[in-house]
Amino acid sequence: MIPPEEESDDDPGAGPDPAGEAGVGEDAADDDPSDASRDADDAGDDEGDDAPDDGSPETAEPGYLWTFGEQEERLGDEYERHMEILDDMEVGEILDLDLAREGDYVRWAAAQSLEEQGWTSQAIDVLRSIGRAGAPHPALSYPDIGLRLHDLLRERGDYAEALGVLEQVESADPNRRDACRERRAEVLILTGEVEEGLRLFEKAARSVPDEPWIPLTAAWALIRAGDYDAATGWIARGERAARRLEDEEELRAVDNEVERLQNEARIRSERKRREAGRPVAPPAGEPGVVMGGAGGEDLRQSILAALDAEEVLLTRTPPRSEADRAAAIERLGALHKRASSAWDEAVERHQEELIARFDDLQWEVVEVAERFGLKLPGVED
């Protein structure tokens, strides 16, 4: 349950939308375009009250109604504990806390820290508990927190629950309708309902034509769904919208995101076309594989193309039953084994560049598995 935001005479007002002006969240995931939007909006805030004063008023961070300066002034010891959890505690220390006995303010600090340290499932569990009991905390923006929960659920493929969270957010705060609509559009694309998802993105983009993050988020959803050609048009729309930005810092953030998305769409599209035109390369160490020179890179690209296809499949239909999970683990495990075998051969041949590339590739496979809550056998943490 996400409580509505309370109004009071001394309320500094709601903080910025967690997805920048576009209203679409992240990563996640670190690759979500809205993270770049938040980075542009919040640049310089990482050091909190120690950041240099450039004369502009401090704004509240996503998830808060008050700035950190206001929290420190008005909450005292409660603020200090919040910041200790947020900035200083390791995962083990946070997991040892009895969060069931804590209020939402402490839980929000714990959820943020767990997510930052890569413990996404634990962060989701804490986020689910926020707003369910007790009076709403006056420093928190509960709709922002709900949107963050949605984003994490969406990233690991819990689409039904993620959409349910959006309904709660919009019910609690109708002003978040646009943010919720864009997130619904993203889920529709990821689950294969591309036409309906793009219809919603088109409506959003036309309502705010100067906002580049809406088309860029649509582009990333299309890339994740494996529709690389369609993504390029939306990237171009985001680039055109960015030319009308006056904030140079945000313009740089958009330019960086445009470049990243263009590279992702181009590279994945090239891999897909190349693999469609030739037989799948056998695992390293089998006859026909030449690890020297271009042969090793060809093998790496072949594994990456298979990983791209697997990620698209898992994104559209996340494994839920034990049988589906076992099948996904078997497929990803086979890709990991191919990368591991290639790494072994590169080590034997003292091919330093291939050693590094196949080491990275092994972890790319692991990261895809972990995003969907899959544990590959024989892979150490």
Q: How many CB atoms within 10 Å of residue 310?
A: 18
The parts of the chain modelled with pLDDT lower than 50 are 1, 4-30, 36, 38-52, 281, 284-290
> How far apart, in whole angstroms, are the C-alpha atoms of residue 260 and residue 33?
10
- How confident is the model at residue 116, as a pLDDT? 95
Q: How far is CA 31 from the centre of its chain?
A: 6
pLDDT in tens, 99-144: 999 999 999 999 999 999 999 999 999 999 999 878 899 999 999 9
**What pLDDT sits at residue 295?**
75
Based on its alpha-carbon atoms, the radius of gyration of the chain, rounded to whole angstroms, reads 22
Grouping H, G, I as helix, E, B as strand and the rest as coil, residue 18 is: strand
259 Cβ neighbours under 8 A, 6+ residues apart: none
Q: What is the DSSP string of 125-186?
A: HHHHHTTSSSSPPTTB-HHHHHHHHHHHHHHTT-HHHHHHHHHHHHHH-GGGHHHHHHHHHH
pTM, two decimals, is 0.79
**117 — phi, psi (to 5°)?**
-90, 5
What number of residues does the chain have? 381
User: Quick one: DSSP state of residue 51?
Assistant: S
Quote the pLDDT of residue 23.
Answer: 35
* Segment holding 301, helix H or strand E: helix 294-316
274-307 pLDDT, tens digit each: 888 765 545 544 444 445 556 788 999 999 999 9
Instruction: Report the interhelical angle of 213-224 vs 248-276 (nearest 10°).
Output: 20
With beta carbons less than 8 A apart as the criterion, state whether 94 and 110 touch.
Answer: yes
